[in-house]
Structure 1
Amino acid sequence: MKIQPVIMSGGSGTRLWPLSRKARPKQFLNLVSDRSLFQETVLRLHDDGGNFAPPLVICGRGHAELVANQLEAIGVKAADIILEPFPRNTAAVAAVAAAWVCENNEDALALIAPADHHVEDAAGFRSVALNGASAAENGSIVTFGIKPTYAHTGYGYIQSAEEISGGVYRVASFREKPDAKTAGDYLAKGGYYWNAGIFLYHPKAMLDAFAAHAPDIAKGAEQALAASKNENGARLLDETLFSETPSDSIDYAIMEKTDKAAVVAPVDVGWTDIGSWSEATTDPESAGHMAVDSTNVTLRSDGPVIGAIGVDNLIIVATGDAVLVARKDKAQEVRAIVDELKRRGREDLL
């Protein structure tokens, strides 16, 4: 059974401001290696054994050229590039992907993954994905439960139930981002895993789930795909039909309602959701940044050299037109700066 990778690349990455901007959001930045997160994701879902098909990329309308250039730089040709005229959350993306795979690669399983995650063990992740394939072939909608390393309050959790097959379990429940005590309880009890937001499914099984639980999303997504037009070498979803498609997440629209949810767990491949500057690394030494008598400091810049003296627990990010200084425990709140810039009408900084 071949797996059809589907790369979700529509995120805006506001918590990675000021490097992450509308024209070049975080998934296209080199935040943890010499490749962008998008390029890392594409290469992670590729192997020489023929198990993975060329990727389908679903991204924002303004990023077609950026996607094409980054794919060319790593020697990968996409099966297709689908452009969203505007965001409609992950459920619509999953429905578009299911419809596309049914039309173009109907015998394959769809593996839908965000473009902005980092995985240290790419081969290990491919092995995990293949381990979930049998359950997906049999109609399960499979997600992946990351082995928690500490009581993280910024991730949702998946609770596993009885085992379906080796390392694959029925999902007992999905849990929202917990407070610190609840997250600690999850780790103490065991059987709870970080929700990575990655899904493996047969396209017909997903469309059946949409028909049962979110028919309006499936209808809008399928019709928008059928009426898509060529734009910059990609397929632009029909604007009117896509605008009428309800916005919801896969978790809320499908996974929390279906009795077909399964989870591969525990997944231990060095996974990180690069959701804020606290997960990004400092620029390489060649950037010339200097931190004197300082600890636990992240320094990032797309040009100016940063000097820091006698500070700790700080994030300092510089661009040609903006500088961010934040405590690391406030990294999740960078979005508030973006919201304030919007309020002030500073589109030049977004």
Structure 2
Amino acid sequence: MIIPVIIAGGTGTRMWPASRRALPKQFAPLLGGNTLFQDTLMRLSGERFDAPCVISNEECRFIARDQMGAVGIHDARHIVEPLSRNTAAAVLTAALAHQSQPDAVMLISPADHVIRDTAAFEAALDVAMPRAEAGEVVCFGVIPTHPSTAYGYLQVDRGSDASVQTVAEFVEKPDLATATELLGRGHSLWNAGLFMMRVDTALNAFRTHAPDLMAPCEAALSLGGEDLGFHRLSRDAFKRCRAIAFDRAVMEKLPKCTAVSLDCGWADLGSWSALRDHQVDTPGGNALLGEVEAIECRNSLLKSTNPDMALVGLGLDGIVAIATDDAVLVADASRSEEVGKAIEVLNARSAPQAEEFPRCHRPWGYYETLSLGARFQVKRIVVHPGQKLSLQSHVHRAEHWIVVEGSALVTVGEEEKLVTENESTYIPLGAVHRLENPGKLPLALIEVQSGCYLGEDDITRYEDIYARDAEEEVA
């Protein structure tokens, strides 16, 4: 059995505006249908796999849980990092969490890669598995198709078996001249960021090559605790971890490492141009996603995330155009990896589009802003079955709730009542209130706020089943 360890962190900046800090790319439906995270879960499930170990950050833990449930994954071990420390600490924490199974084989996998040919991927795992069981550290390499500067490289010593080779050197993401030289040598593979090894092999590698990470990771795990189905690591302990990638901390220092060739339609969608190249579906080299039309366009990506928003390109060549509910990006495809500059500009003027989405996920469900004015805001609120918001009040706003689907148990002051579809209720300014979904189906309602200040920090919380801190400015 293989224990999938799925690293689901990341900031979401490279695929803005469809992906942002509040919803990194692995959780965004970039390709339509399932997210990359969900595709990874499904790919790493079945008879050969044990329950997955998912590692995510604080902000995305409920998104990850909801997306796991949506594809039928309910047995995952979900570890929550209180802050980012790159991938070395994440891999070590996963190994420590499974140290009672020293002979078990872990497959370390990013959550945001695309693999088109699952059968070929599983065949590569079959090649790697006996070597990992024997105590080897196995990484996976992809035969390069062009001199990319977006990937790291594995310099390999080719043996008689082209599918299994020894890694001679790890090369960090190179400049174009170096990438071209590596391809010219004919002994280089793209580093797919997938690793397979036994639990005890991983722990021994860290003890030898990154011993400073052992104590803080052990403390973070042992001093952490279960919380709403997650295992939250101790912040004080985890922040003492050095922020470093697993490749740099361990893989580059190993005296021996085996590379297994991966020929399965692999792609790391690290930029909009990479997604375009992966999704080309027209003779003109265009990739079209969502409600879009391309008229006399070439080599362009057009994507609309809103089915009610039509995006039309006319006479474009090498252009990326991405339209979301609240932001539009138009860029030269050759510069799509510089999208971080757009975020910097938006952050400089405190634009919410830089990091937040109109839809905000919460432990009880989500809400999204439909309309916002000087003294009013209209939201759509969805509460999962059996969940409820905190008992709270507002200093500056009153609220009207109209139930459009399901039933709501509403508390206002000392009064408690059931509000069903097509019924409404009023929450006066300053009233202590709570919203709960007592049913077995999702509750959807429209909230109309009115007042002089409508910020999310206008919340006084008295009771919360999710044990969030009183200063958390969330509903």
Partners of 2:347 and 2:12 in 1: how far apart?
15
Larger proportion of strand: 2
* In the alignment, structure 1 residue 268 sits paired with structure 2 residue 263: yes
Q: Percent same amino acid at aligned positions? A: 38
Equivalent residues of 1:13, 1:275 under 8 A apart: no
Aligned match of 2:440: none
SS in 1 for 2:313: strand
* In the alignment, structure 1 residue 46 sits paired with structure 2 residue 41: no
Displacement after TM superposition at 1:182 (Å): 2.6
Letter paired with 2:22? A
Letter paired with 1:56? C
Displacement after TM superposition at 1:340 (Å): 3.1
- Alpha-carbon spacing, 1:307–1:327, altered in 2? closer, same or farther (3 Å): same
Aligned match of 1:332: 337
Partners of 1:296 and 1:161 in 2: how far apart?
37
Aligned match of 2:311: 306
Structure ranking higher on relative contact order (CA contacts 8 Å, 6+ apart) = 1
- Alpha-carbon spacing, 1:316–1:13, altered in 2? closer, same or farther (3 Å): same
Aligned match of 2:245: 249
Equivalent residues of 1:139, 1:260 under 8 A apart: no
SS in 1 for 2:343: helix
Equivalent residues of 1:296, 1:312 under 8 A apart: yes
* In the alignment, structure 1 residue 315 sits paired with structure 2 residue 323: no
Q: Map 1:196-215 to 2 at 5 A.
A: 196-215=192-211
Please, which of 60, 64, 67 is the counterpart of residue 70 of structure 1? 67
Q: Map 1:174-193 to 2 at 5 A.
A: 174-193=170-189
Letter paired with 2:35? S
SS in 2 for 1:19: coil
Displacement after TM superposition at 1:28 (Å): 0.9
Aligned match of 1:34: 33
Equivalent residues of 1:101, 1:110 under 8 A apart: no
Letter paired with 1:197? G
Equivalent residues of 2:18, 2:30 under 8 A apart: no
C-alpha RMSD over aligned residues: 1.8
Equivalent residues of 1:44, 1:123 under 8 A apart: no
Aligned match of 2:273: 278
Instruction: Please give the TM-score of this superposition, normalised by the length of structure 2.
Output: 0.69
Larger proportion of helix: 1
Letter paired with 1:272? A
SS in 1 for 2:10: coil
Deviations along 1:204-240, one digit per CA (max 9) or x if unpaired, are 1111111111112122122211122223321111111
Aligned match of 1:82: 79
Aligned match of 2:441: none
Partners of 1:154 and 1:245 in 2: how far apart?
27
Aligned match of 2:295: 292
- Alpha-carbon spacing, 1:23–1:164, altered in 2? closer, same or farther (3 Å): farther
Q: Which runs of 5+ in 2 are unaligned?
A: 280-286, 356-475
Instruction: Please give the TM-score of this superposition, normalised by the length of structure 1.
Output: 0.93
Aligned match of 2:190: 194
Deviations along 1:271-300, one digit per CA (max 9) or x if unpaired, are 00010111224454xx33122121122112
Q: Which runs of 5+ in 1 are unaligned?
A: none
Aligned match of 1:61: 58
Partners of 2:316 and 2:3 in 1: how far apart?
47
Partners of 2:184 and 2:75 in 1: how far apart?
43
Displacement after TM superposition at 1:163 (Å): 4.4
Displacement after TM superposition at 1:341 (Å): 2.9
SS in 1 for 2:241: coil
Aligned match of 1:12: 11
Equivalent residues of 1:71, 1:78 under 8 A apart: no
Equivalent residues of 2:88, 2:244 under 8 A apart: yes
SS in 2 for 1:151: coil
* In the alignment, structure 1 residue 217 sits paired with structure 2 residue 222: no
Displacement after TM superposition at 1:184 (Å): 2.5
Equivalent residues of 1:289, 1:299 under 8 A apart: yes
* In the alignment, structure 1 residue 129 sits paired with structure 2 residue 103: no
Displacement after TM superposition at 1:348 (Å): 4.8
Please, which of 323, 339, 350 is the counterpart of residue 345 of structure 1? 350
SS in 1 for 2:125: helix
SS in 2 for 1:17: coil
Please, which of 169, 173, 182 is the counterpart of residue 173 of structure 1? 169
Displacement after TM superposition at 1:197 (Å): 1.0
Equivalent residues of 1:46, 1:52 under 8 A apart: yes
Displacement after TM superposition at 1:186 (Å): 2.1
- Alpha-carbon spacing, 1:278–1:232, altered in 2? closer, same or farther (3 Å): farther
Aligned match of 1:24: 23
Equivalent residues of 2:154, 2:167 under 8 A apart: yes
Please, which of 216, 232, 235 is the counterpart of residue 236 of structure 1? 232
Partners of 1:291 and 1:217 in 2: how far apart?
51
Partners of 1:292 and 1:166 in 2: how far apart?
45
Equivalent residues of 1:164, 1:170 under 8 A apart: no
Equivalent residues of 2:318, 2:333 under 8 A apart: yes
Partners of 2:304 and 2:32 in 1: how far apart?
15
SS in 2 for 1:53: coil
